[in-house]
């Protein structure tokens, strides 16, 4: 199986905004980026997406190119940052570092969810994915993409923070003989 992970394009909010499950539009120019992605990624057998707008519109555009209907899956939404959603990281300040830095895996922002909770969602998605398709493309967010990389590559959860997952970027994993390998990262 080949698993292509595509992060949504830049959202229509300031670059330093804390955006998790907040449903926002894509910034101007996303359509051209989607066309380039469709040419580069190649047609999958299945296209699955986070149901949030910034992923859904990209998946729909890719679906037209691939002649596939995107399948929304709520387990692929970004980590919930609760009360921090939409605020600038500079406004949140050192509180974010104190809460998330101390034990990012188990602590959640006020009213949000922990990385462990998000990992449970992603684990469930991965288990249900099975091996019935040769090539699967997933349009999602940096958090779930990092979680998928960590799980497939059998890395400790904290290793996910080391992966730079840029807007509109593609990563690819391939599973052969029961073992996953990373073929592409943040391209």
Q: DSSP assignment of 77-124, as one string?
A: SPPP-GGGTTSBHHHHTHHHIIIIIHHTTT---TTS--HHHHHHHHHH
Q: Within 10 A of 87 (CB to CB), how many other CB atoms are there?
A: 16
Write down all domains in the chain, each with its CATH number in brackets. 2-184 (3.40.50.1240)
Within its chain, how far is the Cα of 178 from the centroid? Answer: 23
Neighbours of 41 (CB within 10 A): 20
The pLDDT of residue 94 is 64
pLDDT for position 92: 86
pLDDT (0 to 100) of residue 98: 62
User: What pLDDT is stored for residue 108 in this prediction?
Assistant: 87
DSSP bridge pairs for 174:
2, 181
Flag residues of the chain having pLDDT under 70: 94-102
pLDDT of residue 8: 96
> Other C-beta atoms within 10 Å of 54: how many?
26
**What number of other Cβ atoms are within 10 A of residue 53's Cβ?**
16
Beta bridge partners of 22: none
| pLDDT tens, position by position, 116-149 | 999 999 999 999 997 777 999 999 999 999 999 9
């Amino acid at each position: 199986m080949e698993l292509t992970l595509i992060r949504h394009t830049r959202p229509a909010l300031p670059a330093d905004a804390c955006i998790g499950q907040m449903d926002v539009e894509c910034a101007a120019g996303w359509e051209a980026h989607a066309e380039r992605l469709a040419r580069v990624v190649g047609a999958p057998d299945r296209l699955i997406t986070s149901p949030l707008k910034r992923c859904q519109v990209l998946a729909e555009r890719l679906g037209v190119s691939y002649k596939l209907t995107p399948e929304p899956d709520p387990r692929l939404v970004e980590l919930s940052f609760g009360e921090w959603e939409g605020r600038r990281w500079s406004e949140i300040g050192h509180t974010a570092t104190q809460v998330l830095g101390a034990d990012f895996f188990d602590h959640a922002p006020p009213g949000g969810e922990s990385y462990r909770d998000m990992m449970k969602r992603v684990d469930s998605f991965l288990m249900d994915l099975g091996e019935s398709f040769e090539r699967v493309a997933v349009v999602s967010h940096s958090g779930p993409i990092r979680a998928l990389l960590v799980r497939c590559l059998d890395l400790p959860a904290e290793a996910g923070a080391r992966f730079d997952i840029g807007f509109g970027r593609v990563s690819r994993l391939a599973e052969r003989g029961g073992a996953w390998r990373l073929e592409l990262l943040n391209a």
